[in-house]
């Protein structure tokens, strides 16, 4: 059986998009007080799978995506521990929310990176991803996630 990069990439992208979509719904639940048990599990599972499969692409040296993936997996490990081993008791509730929002942010961060690489109109604005439009987009995403994360912790804690 040979390695099919196109199929592997498709699986990775689908996992990522399901993780982002389910993560946004989980975040909405944090903000509205709704509990989505199964959706939390889907979010955590697909986000772990996204980060893990990111290491399966061919590479010759450590890339920024590997660093983001490793940080995401560490944050997800704490989130899973807080949710399932500690049952979100006491401060573990806020820990779960912070870690879940951070993991979602990392997925969206990568989505923005990939969008600037693959969408022609965005690529034209920031072909090397060192131009202001890319930095501004990432800053806006970060600020939104910090604000929503802080609000979610206040509402869930």
- DSSP helix/strand/coil, 129: coil
Question: Would you state the pLDDT for residue 124?
Answer: 98
pLDDT tens column, 27-43: 999 999 998 889 999 99
pTM: 0.95
Question: Would you state the pLDDT for residue 44?
Answer: 98
Residue 157, pLDDT above cutoff 70: no
Q: CA-CA distance, 132 to 71, in Å (whole number)? A: 25
pLDDT tens column, 62-113: 999 999 999 999 999 999 999 999 999 999 999 999 999 999 999 999 999 9
Alpha helices, DSSP H, located in the chain: 5-32, 37-53, 64-80, 91-118, 120-125, 132-156
Do 50 and 22 touch, CB atoms closer than 8 A? no
Question: Would you state the pLDDT for residue 1?
Answer: 57
Spatial neighbors of 110 by CB under 8 A, at least 6 apart, are 16, 65, 68
pLDDT tens column, 117-137: 999 999 999 999 999 999 999
Residue 156, pLDDT above cutoff 80: no
Q: How far is CA 37 from CA 22, 26, 30, 84, 114, in A?
A: 11, 9, 12, 11, 30
């Amino acid at each position: 059986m040979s390695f099919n990069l196109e199929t592997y990439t498709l699986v990775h992208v689908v996992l990522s998009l399901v993780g982002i979509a389910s993560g946004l719904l989980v975040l909405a639940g944090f903000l509205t007080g709704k509990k989505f048990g199964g959706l939390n599990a889907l979010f955590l599972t697909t986000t772990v799978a996204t980060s893990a499969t990111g290491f399966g692409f061919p590479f010759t040296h450590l890339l920024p995506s590997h660093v983001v993936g490793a940080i995401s997996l560490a944050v997800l490990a704490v989130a899973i521990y807080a949710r399932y081993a500690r049952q979100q008791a006491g401060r573990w509730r806020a820990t779960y929310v912070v870690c879940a929002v951070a993991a979602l942010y990392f997925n969206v961060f990568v989505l923005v990176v990939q969008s600037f690489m693959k969408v022609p109109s965005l690529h034209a604005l920031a072909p090397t991803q060192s131009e202001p439009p890319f930095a501004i987009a990432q800053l806006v995403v970060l600020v939104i996630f910090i604000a929503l994360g802080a609000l979610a912790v206040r509402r869930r804690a």
